[in-house]
Amino acid sequence: LYEQTGKPNNAKKPYFANYDITEERWHTDIRFMDGLKYRDKVDILVGGSPCQSFSTYGLKRGLEDARGTLFYDYARMINEVQPKVFIYENVRGLLMHDKGKTWQVIKSVFDSLDYDIGEPQILNAQDYGLPQMRKRLFVVGIKRSLGLSSFKYPAKMPLLRKATEYLNPSNRSEERRVG
């Protein structure tokens, strides 16, 4: 795709600079990735699909938007890779999109892949030690053949630092410093 457009891949260069990865292990676009070569080699698959299609700030075209349909490629990856567990993340608006119909479609796809997903949860980053108010939808799927009980989301933890403490280290107070 990048060769056709003549545009640089702005995500690839810094990724290669920061991680020990080879060209063979780099995948630019999930639509062209073959998950079968990873089948039964992955314990947990974490990902999602673009959120613009479901966001309250977007056009809310859902699965009618090309970005929204990338959910199906994520589901294809789960089916091909067959991880023991998957985590799907997106905006909380996905649950309410099209009066809940979009979520019902996504849930039925996960069910068809033979994973138990339990109840999706809206988690806020600031409830888990990150000084940012960011509410996101999380869905945890556990392969039914494992025979495990449902997943329990982690308990909330106190926020120990403010964002300004990360931006300006001189603002850190000793009693609040962690580690």
For the annotated catalytic residues, the residue numbers are 51
From CA 135, how far away is CA 34, in angstroms rounded? Answer: 31
150 three-state secondary structure = coil
107-138 core/surface letters (b: 16 or more CB in 10 A; e: else):
eebbeebebbbeebeebeebeeeeeeeeebbb
Q: What is the DSSP string of 13-33?
A: HHHHHHS---GGG--S-GGG-
From CA 68, how far away is CA 89, in angstroms rounded? Answer: 13
Residues in Cβ contact with 126 at an 8 Å cutoff, skipping those fewer than 6 apart: 132, 133, 134, 159
Taking each helix axis from N to C end, the angle separating 101-112 and 70-81, rounded to the nearest 10 degrees, works out to 20
